[in-house]
Amino acid sequence: MAQIGHGYGSEWQLLRMLGHHREYFYKELRSQIGLPPNAEIHWLDYGWDSTTVSGDKEYKKGEFFEKIKEIFTSKVVSSIKEDSFGAILNQNWDGIFWVDKTVYIVEAKAHLKEIISDCQSDKPESLDVIEEYFKETRDRFGISSDNDWKKTYYQMANRIAFLALLKKHFIDAKLVNIYFLNGYEKKIKNPVSGKYYTIQNKNATKDEWIKAIKKEEDYLGVSKLVGKDKDIIHVFINCKKE
């Protein structure tokens, strides 16, 4: 879990939307995901972690499985934990919510470079296992891609593999990518004037996000999975009132 930024970044903006702008945030979620206007959205609370700035921690795999027992049967959860791929897909999630019997696993981004990542493992045996579950994921979703999923967009590939794992065990799940517009602007207070001024701006417009996301989708070959009522949903949230 990355340390929360003070006034900027995806974790800060997600916390801000849930705490200060719920009406706006939920309206956008329902609309962009394709939920009914009155759909009840239930978020899982974070755990506690005194080693982080916020004192909180994201859900990891095992904790996630335990919490979704509230929605699904213990038998289903146990079958995932016993799965050989389930044993290695140890991921952190920015947020988890559910509507009725559908689980939405959330990945949030606030600046463009966050979507780029490579697999950090250099152990041949680990790489073989990773490639095996990526192949199973592509087969399950009918994805045709000759590109190496361990390169460039590894984090997203891993998220899709986790989604495939849930579906393999009959859990209705969707991946929601939240992209914050105007969400990454570091500011500092002038001790004399008391006013805030910008020291770093990595804000992204919707057009910039769409262009970057299109490259990611094309590389992974997942475009057909993206959209309302599909397996992967992109949500754009503006952090500034315009």
Q: How many structural domains compose the chain?
A: 1
Whether 4 is covered by a domain: the verdict is no
pLDDT digits (tens, 9 = 90+) for 102-159: 999 999 999 999 999 999 888 888 888 889 989 999 999 999 888 999 999 999 999 9
| pTM confidence score | 0.88
Q: Which residue has the higher pLDDT, 210 or 45?
A: 210
Query: Percentage of the chain surpassing pLDDT 70?
Result: 83
**Which pLDDT belongs to residue 45?**
83
Whether 3 is covered by a domain: the verdict is no
pLDDT digits (tens, 9 = 90+) for 218-238: 999 999 999 988 999 999 999
Residue 157 corresponds to which tokens in the numbers above?
């590939």
Residue with tokens 């016993």: 82
Whether 1 is covered by a domain: the verdict is no
E strands present in 6-159: 42-43, 47-48, 56-57, 95-99, 102-109
pLDDT greater than 60 at residue 31: yes
Q: Confidence class of residue 1 from pLDDT cuts 50, 70 and 90?
A: very low
3-state secondary structure of 146: coil
Rg, C-alpha atoms of the chain: 18
Residue with tokens 């978020």: 43
Q: Provide the residue range defining the domain that includes 107.
A: 10-238
